Amino acid sequence: MSMGDKTMNAGSGAVTETGAGRTQPGWSKRLAVQPLFMCGFRPFFLLTALYAVLVLLAWAGFLGVDLAVPAVAGGPFVWHAHELMFGFGLAAVAGFVLTAVPEFTATPPFAPRVAVRFVLLWLAARVAFWMSGGLAAVAGGWLGVADGLPAAEWIGHLPAALLNIGFACALLVAVAPRLWRDPERRQLGFLWGLAAMAAAVAGFHLDVLRGEYPMRWVLAGLGVMMTLVVVAMSRISMRVMNDALDAERARRLPAHTLRHDEEAELELPSYRARPPRRNLAIAAIAGYTVAEFLLPGSPITAWLGLGAAAAVFNLLNDWHVGRALFTRWAFLLYAVYWLLALGYLLLGLSHLGAPLAPSAGTHLLAIGAMGLSILAVLCIAGRTHAGYPLDERPWVGVAAASIAIAAVLRAASGLPDVPVPALQLLAALAWILAFALAAWRLGVLFVVARVDGGAGCEEYHEPGAAEASLR
Amino acid sequence: MILLRAWLAGLPAYLWSGWGAIASLCLLLAAWEAVSLVYGPLVMPDPRAAFATLWGLIDSGAAWPELAATARRALSGYALSVIAGSVLGLIAGLSMTASMMSRPLVTVLMGTPPIAWLVLAMLWFGASDGTPVFTVFVASFPVIFIGALQGTRTLDNQLHGMAEAFRLPRRMMIIDVYLPHVVSYLFPAWIAALGTAWKVVVMAELLATQDGVGAALAVSRSHLDTAATMAWIAAVVGLLLAVEYLGLEPIKREVERWREQGA
């Protein structure tokens, strides 16, 4: 597989050919020179936002007016869960790692045609899964329905299984060598996370092929996603929090004393995402995920869920640094951890017998922690790597608040004696609003060439930054 | 006063850092749950059953007299050992000869198992409060004595010399030079001794008295009531942890802070 090769991307026109005798179709080459494929995150972050809207529109139709969703093995809930976890979620992960791994490991960026191939594979996986029910029906017609039903389902699901597992594995194969060869191997957390994610995808589809109900693998995938969120957020948060603290220091000191760095340093602590606390949180989440998989609904799982909640709350010790926390980007990331902790708290309580459905906690994690962290990554990594400064316009606040509201509404629908359909429909609409805004406000940047003259993934640099650091 | 204000200011952050401990304790509860699932409720009731029993004991008012009796005995023995241990330890620390002489004695005291003292105490004091109080006193005295001794022995002679050179008033000398140093040794010893006292008193009560948590444990054992046993254990451990981590540990950090800054 040549997806992992380190072809230097020299900009718009220069797509290096691998192997002399190989002919590439012209359309794929033409696709690769589009600005959309300049860097791996661009197509995937756009698809992430668009797909979030599309899946939830279909789901809102199903909940509200009984519109059919694509028939897949396991039923509509499996479709909903799989597409949001392994479609939407994995697209965001793909965009993130295709951009961040070269940066973190100081290796050359992935060439545009790598992005093209991944996007095509992802789209094919989506189409195959959506059509798997239809394909099974066609196969059933050929085989004669009487005794051929399991076989027909098997045939119908096979393309979806191959393409989805293929996508997750290809992603792992593409970034694994770089993560592994990194001298200090500081980014191995991503490698284990991606490997576990690929295992969850494979487990899901193998369960379907064996005729079993595959939902437990979606929950496992959600747990893996939560650990990836903690790992990825620690990388982003260092930057965001210390920027916020710097701004706070500058605000406290009159301009003419700005030179006395030491005094300012003494006043405010600097923020460090400390590994011990992070590792405890990751281990606690992993422990809960394994327990939930092996012993669903057991009180052991419940205590581990409460432990995971406490471990995530423990992570917030690093974050309590005063007013700087209440700036836009710092608070956005901070809210992700709260939703993460509260999600595990609700899961633990529901397994202990509290009168609420486990799906309340699951959705606080999936909508709240996953959705909000993906929005944060889209906004922060997406904009800076597209050559723009962080977005200070109000839509970010509206989108983030919508996701938080969606998470709370969906979680509330798991309480006893509430109007469940209305709450779920409202939650779906809030989610659609958030990601429609993101698709519009960020998508317009991703489909056009960079305005700062950049031709790849390089980050935005403040025009005055160089002089400021010299001062 | 300054100490109190610093303590209050650091309290939210300190309390929040308790989440890490809660996470570990949840792991312990999960392990407890697993043991009870494997071996059944007769061997090990599950945590919820134990906590429900505890809640029942508290709710019915049955828990308070027992806990009060236990606390009374533990605290009287502890108070005696704090006074005697601190005073004697400080005095012994002042003299090289005294500290040399007292060390082996303290080693003997520490090496004697509390259960041996308990047997002696039962012979001497019978089934009265004297038995647990004495056992607690003997068990926690050497811990405090050693702490006080170390505190005085390690006083910095150079600081003493400097304070003399500056003709520091005697009051300032004691409060600003000696006291912080000695307290930074004494305080951890007090905390360690409190833990010892609290554990030893339950053991003494189990064998020697008709009331208190230890006696309640003896009753639940004879009834093969594991849920009540775990409930009492949870109550005793919970109380100790609460007193230690909500009350004493923050003060200890405050008291010891100058040492970290110096290092």
**pLDDT tens track for A39-87:** 889 999 999 999 999 999 999 999 988 888 888 888 899 999 999 999 9
Helices (H) and strands (E) in chain B, counts: 13, 0
Q: Which residue has the higher pLDDT, B148 or A319?
A: B148
Interface touch A314/B23, C-beta < 8 Å: yes
CA distance B19 to chain A (A): 5
Residue of A nearest to B30 (CA): A300
- Structure token digits, residue B235: 């109550």
Residue in B17, B30, B46 closest to A307 by CB? B30
What average pLDDT does the segment A301-329 reach? 90
Provide the token pair at B38. Answer: 């494997």
Question: What is the model's pLDDT at position A128?
Answer: 94
Contact B23 A303 (CB under 8 A): no
- Residue A149: pLDDT above 80? no
- pTM for the model stands at 0.85
Q: Which member of A298, A299, A313 has the closest CB to residue B19?
A: A313
Answer yes or no: do A299 and B33 touch at CB < 8 A. Answer: yes
ipTM: 0.80
Contacts of A262 (CB under 8 A, 6+ apart): none
Q: In chain B, pLDDT over 90 holds for what percent of residues? A: 42
pLDDT of residue B81: 96
Distances in Å between the Cα of A354 and the Cα atoms of A419, B15, B25, B247 are 19, 26, 20, 32
| CB neighbour list of residue B134: distance below 8 Å, 6 or more residues apart | B77, B117, B121, B124, B125
The rounded mean pLDDT for chain B is: 86
Interchain contact A352–B (C-beta under 8 A): yes
pLDDT > 70: what percent of chain A?
88
The pLDDT value recorded for residue B143 is 93
- In Å, how far are A196, A282, A344 from A286, measured between CA atoms? 10, 6, 12
pLDDT at position A6 is 40
The predicted-structure confidence for A240-276, as pLDDT tens digits, reads as follows: 888 888 888 777 765 555 455 555 455 566 777 778 8
* CB-CB under 8 Å, B17 with A298: no
Phi-psi label, residue A320: left if phi above 0, alpha if psi -120 to 50, beta otherwise? beta
Closest-approach residue (CA) in chain A for B15: A317
- Side chain identity, residue A362: T
Is 60 exceeded by the pLDDT of residue A7? Answer: no
Among A291, A298, A314, beta carbon nearest to B20:
A314
Q: Please name the member of B13, B17, B27 whose beta carbon is closest to the beta carbon of A307.
A: B27
Output the six-digit token pair for A244: 């916020």
Instruction: Please tell me the distance in Å from A205's CA to the nearest CA on chain B.
Output: 31
Give the residue among A377, A171, A192 at the shortest CA–CA distance from A289.
A192
- Report chain A residues whose CB lies below 8 A from the CB of B12: 320
Q: Is the pLDDT of residue B250 over 80?
A: no
Least confident interval from A185-199, A344-358, A447-461, B28-42: A447-461
Higher pLDDT, B167 or B92: B92
Q: Stretch A424-452: mean pLDDT, rounded? A: 93
Determine the Cα–Cα distance for residues B253 and B246; give it in Å rounded to an integer: 12
Q: What is the pLDDT of residue B173?
A: 75
Residues in A closer than 8 angstroms to B46, CB to CB, are 299
The closest CB to that of B30, out of A277, A304, A310, belongs to A304
Mean pLDDT, residues B223-233 = 91
Exposure class string for A138-177: b at 16+ Cβ within 10 A, else e? ebbeeeeeeebeeebbbbbbbbbbebbbebbbbbbebbbe
Interface test with A, best of B14, B26, B28 (most A CBs within 10 A): B26
Q: At what angle do helices A420-446 and A394-412 cross, to 10 degrees?
A: 150
Q: Could you tell me which residue, A161 or A154, shows the higher pLDDT?
A: A161
Q: Which site among A290, A300, A301, A349 would you substitute to test the B interface, given the most B Cβ atoms closer than 10 Å to its Cβ?
A: A300
Exposed (0-12), middle (13-18) or buried (19+): which is A64, by Cβ within 10 Å?
middle
- In the prediction, which pLDDT does A214 show? 94
